[in-house]
Amino acid sequence: MTGREEEREELRRTWRALGIYPQLTAGEAVTQGAADHPDDAIVFAAVDGANEHATLASLHAGGRRIAAALHELGVRPGDVVAVQGPADRASTELLEGLWLLGTVVVPLVAAYGPAEIAHIVRESGATTYVSPPAWRGVGLSAQAVEHAADWGLDRVVALGGDAPLGAVPLSALAADGDPPLVTPSPAEVCCIIYTSGSTAAPKGVQHSHETLLAGVTAVPADRSTRTLATFPAGHIASLLGLLRPLAVGGTTVVMDRWSARRAAQLIEEHRLSYSAGTPFFLSTLLDEAERSGRDISSLRTFLCGAASVPPALVARATDAGIISWRTYGATEHPAISTGVADDPLDKRMRTDGRVSPGNEVGLVDEHGNDVAAGEEGEIIARGPKQFLGYRDASLDDTAFLGSWFRTGDLGRFDDDGFLIITDRVKDIIIRGGENISAREVEDVLAGHPDVDEVAVCAAPDDVWGERVCAFVRPAPGSKPTLEALADHVIGTGLAAHKAPAQLVVVDDFPRTSAGKIRKQDLRASLREPLAKR
Looking at residue 200, its pLDDT comes to 54
Q: Is 369 helix (H, G, I), strand (E, B) or coil?
A: coil
What the chain holds in terms of domains, given with CATH numbers, is 1-20+361-410 (2.30.38.10), 25-37+56-217 (3.40.50.980), 428-531 (3.30.300.30)
Rounded to the nearest 5 degrees, what angle is found at the Cα of 458, between the Cα atoms of 354 and 120?
Answer: 85
Looking at residue 177, its pLDDT comes to 64
Cβ count near 448 (within 10 Å): 21
CA-wise closest residue to 119 among 156, 155, 79, 147? 147
- Is the model's pLDDT at 195 over the cut of 90? no
Q: Is 37 helix (H, G, I), strand (E, B) or coil?
A: coil
pLDDT tens, position by position, 1-21: 677 788 889 999 999 998 899
Ranking 48-57, 208-217, 304-313, 512-521 by mean pLDDT, the lowest is 512-521
Single-letter amino acid code for the residue at 416: D
pLDDT tens, position by position, 199-244: 457 899 999 999 999 988 777 777 788 999 998 888 899 999 999 9
- β-pairing, 41-45 vs 203-208, is unpaired
Do residues 93 and 139 lie in contact, with contact meaning Cβ atoms separated by under 8 Å? no
Do residues 344 and 351 lie in contact, with contact meaning Cβ atoms separated by under 8 Å? no
Q: Sheet of 51-55: strands edge to edge?
A: 51-55, 41-45, 251-255, 226-229, 274-277, 301-304, 323-328, 337-338, 354-355
Average pLDDT, the chain: 90
Q: Which residues pair with 105 in a beta bridge?
A: 81, 191
Length of the chain: 533
Looking at residue 198, its pLDDT comes to 41
- Decide which of 172 and 207 is more confident: 207
Average pLDDT over residues 160-185: 82
DSSP label at residue 482? H
Average pLDDT over residues 520-529: 81
- Decide which of 533 and 509 is more confident: 509
Looking at residue 136, its pLDDT comes to 87
Looking at residue 174, its pLDDT comes to 67
- Residue 289 gets the label, from left (phi > 0), alpha (psi -120 to 50) or beta, of alpha
Average pLDDT over residues 117-136: 95
Banded model confidence at residue 196, pLDDT cuts 50, 70, 90:
low
- Is the model's pLDDT at 366 over the cut of 90? no
- Is the model's pLDDT at 283 over the cut of 60? yes
Looking at residue 513, its pLDDT comes to 47
Looking at residue 439, its pLDDT comes to 79
- Percent helix / strand / coil, the chain, rounded to 5: 35, 25, 40
Banded model confidence at residue 253, pLDDT cuts 50, 70, 90:
very high
Banded model confidence at residue 361, pLDDT cuts 50, 70, 90:
very high
Strands, E, within 294-446: which ranges? 301-304, 323-328, 337-338, 354-355, 360-364, 377-382, 389-390, 400-401, 404-413, 419-424, 428-431, 434-437
Q: Virtual CA dihedral for 493, 425, 276, 456, nearest 10 degrees?
A: -30
Identity of the highest mean pLDDT range in 44-53, 312-321, 382-391 = 382-391
- Is the model's pLDDT at 531 over the cut of 70? no
DSSP output for 316-356: HHHHTT-EEEEEE--SSSS-SEE--TTS-HHHHHH---EEP
Kindly tell me the sign of the dihedral angle through the C-alpha atoms of 101, 106, 107, 113. Answer: negative
pLDDT tens, position by position, 465-513: 899 999 999 988 999 999 999 999 999 889 999 999 999 999 988 875 4
pLDDT tens, position by position, 30-42: 999 999 999 999 9
Average pLDDT over residues 252-263: 94
pLDDT tens, position by position, 59-103: 999 999 999 999 989 999 999 999 999 999 999 999 999 999 999
Looking at residue 81, its pLDDT comes to 98
